[in-house]
Amino acid sequence: MAEDVNQAAFRIVGVGTREKNPAAVELGRLGGLKGGHARAAKLSKKRKQEIARKAAKSRWSKKSKKS
């Protein structure tokens, strides 16, 4: 008997949420923890301000469009 759509979806979600290798998770986390700080250290104060302005402008423009 073939799987129906719901059974296939359940199987796919099960595969995607299976337990992960703890060593790989720790390595990924380590890189993630370093990444932002390393990038910020390389940026100039002016460039950080430009990025912050662009982010704020984007945030505020999205809120005004919903009204």
17-65 residue pLDDT tens: 777 778 888 888 777 778 888 888 999 999 999 999 999 999 998 765 5
Model-wide pTM > 0.75: no
Nearest 5°: the CA angle 15, 25, 38 is 135
Say how many C-beta atoms besides its own lie within 10 A of residue 13's C-beta.
10
The answer to whether 17 and 10 have CB atoms below 8 angstroms apart is: no
| Residue 19 parent element (H or E) | none
- Alpha-carbon gap, residue 67 to 62, rounded angstroms: 9
DSSP H helices, 1-67, are: 5-16, 22-42, 45-66
Asked whether the predicted pLDDT for residue 66 surpasses 70, the reply is: no
